[in-house]
Chains A and B, each alone.
Chain A
Amino acid sequence: MATHKTLSKVNLTPPESRARPQNKMTLLQKARQRYFSNLLNSFLTLSVIIAFILILPPLLQWAIFDAVFIGSTQEACEVAAGACWLPIAARFDLFVYGFYPETETWRVNLVFAASFFTLVVLVWRRISMKLKLVYIVAFLPALIFVLLYGGVFGLDSVSSNKFGGLIITIFLGLIGSILSLPLGIFLALGRRSTRPVIRIFCVSVIELFRAMPMITWLFMGALVLQLFLPNGMEVDKMIRVVFILVLVSAASKAEIIRAGLQAIPVGQFEASAALGVGYWRTMSMVIMPQVLKVSIPAMLNSFIGMFKDTSLVAIIGLLDFLSVGMATMNSDEWGKYGIEVYIFVAMIYFVILFTISRFSLTLEKQLETGH
């Protein structure tokens, strides 16, 4: 046959393999292509370089070479031309532990360690999702409450007005966003409920808390909440603030979970309804595990937002990390060095939040089971 003939003529031996074409560009040519390929590109490169030259040397001169690092009183700073980093060293304990009793600081350190360990747990592949959830939602808050407040297991009881600095920031950030999770789930389910009364109630609660600035709610917690309680019932200020943070954060979490719920195909609901599974079992066994998985990255983002928002408690007079900085600036001794103190505060916030956001990126990549 004709095709047979032509086929037999086909040369089936592969062509001789050739070496990969060499990239002959030298380093200089490469640099030129990347940074000076045309007028606009050269302009961009030069402007970045000029900005660096203008900003970096004076900044380094101020922050490092001319700065004062050694000493304990402000006299050491009087003669310096640059920054004075002494207030940070002088008030370091206040920044980290507030007025927490000195003999008990190991408990605070343990809380910090447990908080950091949470991030590790989140990205640890070998721990099951269920165990992670139990650790974060049940174990961690209980541990933090027991360690910080004490009063059980032979730990000395510490009043919450001794808390301060980083303790408050981490306590409010973690407890606020963890405790808001269950409430957020119920609000999101309520918002998608088929019962109009429940739906309208949940929508109004969510929108109410999202419409007003956080600081107004904090004012409300600090000044007004007391009016709603029976006469004579005093609630710890810290607990009132946690309560407010939980409500505000639950409203934003509800929106995240609602987005997650909308991402679940209708087939999942229908399949479990067809099998005769009830509403609560469908939600807890079928839907929520999927929803929580897809909304973890958004949750971590909202946690970062929450952590940033804890700095607002400085305005209502809780001595959080930023507030210690403000108090340092208002003190007679270190009043002149406010900028140094605030730069330190900003750096610590940056380190904490940047770490969380890196872990969140890692987690996002791990959870990406799609294409």
Chain B
Amino acid sequence: MLMILRDERKRAIFDQVLFLVIVSAFIYYLSANLIENLNRLGISTGFSFLWQEAGYQIGGALIDFDDTDSYALAHIVGLLNTLLATFLIIVSASILGFIIGILRMSPNPLMTNSIRYVIEVIRNIPSLVHIVIWFSLALHLPPVRQSFDIYNTVFISNRGIYLPDPNFESGMWGVLFLFICLLAYAFFRKRKAQQLMRETGKYQATFLSNTLIIWGGTICAYLLFGLPITWQAPTLSGFDFDGGITIAPELFAIWIALSIYFSSHVAELVRGGVQSVSKGQFEAASALGVRYSITMKMVVIPQAMRVIVPPLTNVYQNILKTTSLGVAIGYAEMTATTGGTTLNLTGQAIECILLMMVSYGIISLIIAAIMDQINKHVAIVER
């Protein structure tokens, strides 16, 4: 018997069979308990509960939802809110993080040191604490009737931030079409300038003129088509505002808090990336008389991006996972709807968890796929 274990191949099979037996016995034990408990509590398994009436209301839903709609729709509402928060936080944390990261590497010691301390403070406070701090700040804003207003179009109160709602008229299609045409033209000019650079070495500045062409043309078209966007400003009626877009305090709090929290992570990645570019590159550029800003833009950042982008995927996936903390302040995202209320009301724990796992997994994979495309774009092209 023991001789079997001396033979490497037989040993491998023996190990795996033993492992499989132990694991399946364990899983069998757990599921037997589960089935017994579910029977005792009178909970039926399966996903059919998704089509039942949810019977609860969700504040801050992006699509129409009321308590006669199904649990499946409640899941969609949560999913959309998760997507919205993830998208907003990724965009603002990246922009903020890049700015902070670049400033962190500036030659000015006053700037670098103050940013270093700020990053240290932000990083060492848990994300949930950031969220509750911003949420209690948002609730300390003045009530609706005494809200701050900016030229009577944007109102800031403890019920949320009210923005004017744009109304698009048919002329907007013309403007949009022209905008795309101009964008294509600008792209063509840039390609031509690049070709000129490759062939003759002559540098032709296109950034400023292109910006002028795109925005100047679009604004002209906008005027020409007779101002096709009308803004519907929120108006105070009774105890609340009517019309306009509302950013609820929950979304506001989680957006600001997590943008700040994750911008410190992005900034550290940017710093690591810039430091990974060898010093010789800086020195060569400055020996050629290239200005600091141009050195950063043309020499350092393209090389740093190769180091920054792969771990950035991780940060973005963390942002997705961390939006689940919205449940603490009542932001109706997936963990709050499916993982919280639905789970509590139906008791279909396994199904709810599976549903969330699949949803989070798919979004995570989408983020990874997009970042993979960006990574291909910035990675070293090897021949």
Interface positions of A (Cβ within 8 A of B): 34-35, 37, 40-41, 44-45, 48-49, 52, 194-198, 201, 208, 211-216, 219-220, 223-224, 226-231, 304, 308-309, 311-312, 314-315, 322, 325-326, 329, 338-339, 342-343, 345-346, 349-350, 353-354, 357
When the two chains form their complex, are residues B353 and A339 in contact, meaning their CB atoms are under 8 A apart?
no
Residue of A nearest to B328 (CB): A315
Complex A-B: 21 CB contacts under 8 Å: A41-B107, A44-B110, A48-B110, A197-B19, A208-B357, A211-B360, A213-B321, A215-B327, A215-B339, A216-B324, A219-B335, A223-B344, A227-B33, A231-B37, A304-B124, A314-B128, A325-B132, A339-B140, A342-B133, A349-B129, A350-B124
B125 at the interface (CB under 8 A from A): yes
A35 to B328, CA, bound (A): 44
**Beyond known contacts A37-B107, A353-B125: 14 more, CB 8 A cutoff:** A44-B103, A44-B108, A44-B111, A201-B23, A213-B335, A216-B324, A227-B34, A230-B36, A339-B136, A342-B136, A346-B133, A349-B129, A350-B121, A353-B124
Q: Which residues of B contact A346 (CB under 8 A)?
A: 125, 129-130, 133
CB nearest neighbor in A for B361: A211
Does residue B126 face the partner (Cβ distance < 8 Å to A)? Answer: yes
Return A187 CB to nearest CB of chain B, in Å: 13
Known A227-B33, A227-B37, A346-B133; judge A309-B126 contact (CB<8 A): yes
Q: Judging by beta carbons under 8 Å apart, are A212 and B136 in contact?
A: no
CB distance from B81 to the nearest CB of A (A): 14
A195 in contact with B15 given A342-B133, A346-B129, A346-B133 (CB within 8 Å): yes
**Quick one: which of B12, B126, B128, B136 contacts A194, CB cutoff 8 A?**
B12
B interface bracket (residues with beta carbon within 8 Å of A)? 35 or more
Which label, helix, strand, loop or mixed, suits the secondary structure of the A interface?
helix
A197-B133 contact in complex given A45-B111, A211-B364, A215-B335, C-beta closer than 8 Å: no
Q: How far is the CA of A70 from the CA of B48 in the complex (A)?
A: 60
CB of B343 within 8 Å of the partner chain: yes
Compute the total of residue contacts between A and B using a CB distance below 8 Å: 146
Q: Is B127 an interface residue (CB 8 A)?
A: yes
**A213 & B126 in contact (Cβ 8 Å cutoff):** no
Q: Are B127 and A308 in contact (CB under 8 A)?
A: yes
Q: Which residues of B lie under 8 Å from residue A224 when comparing CB positions? A: 349-350, 353
Q: Which of B133, B139, B343 has the most chain A CB atoms inside 10 A of its CB?
A: B133
Q: Which of B332-371 contact A (CB under 8 A)?
A: 335, 339-340, 343-344, 349-350, 353, 356-357, 360-361, 364
Residues of A within 8 A of B110 (CB): 35, 44-45, 48-49
Q: How far is the CB of B38 from chain A (nearest CB, A)?
A: 7
Q: B133-155 vs A: 1/0 string, CB under 8 Å?
A: 10011011000000000000000
Asked if A215 and B324 make an inter-chain contact with CB atoms under 8 angstroms apart, the answer reads yes
Contact (Cβ within 8 A) B339 A219: yes
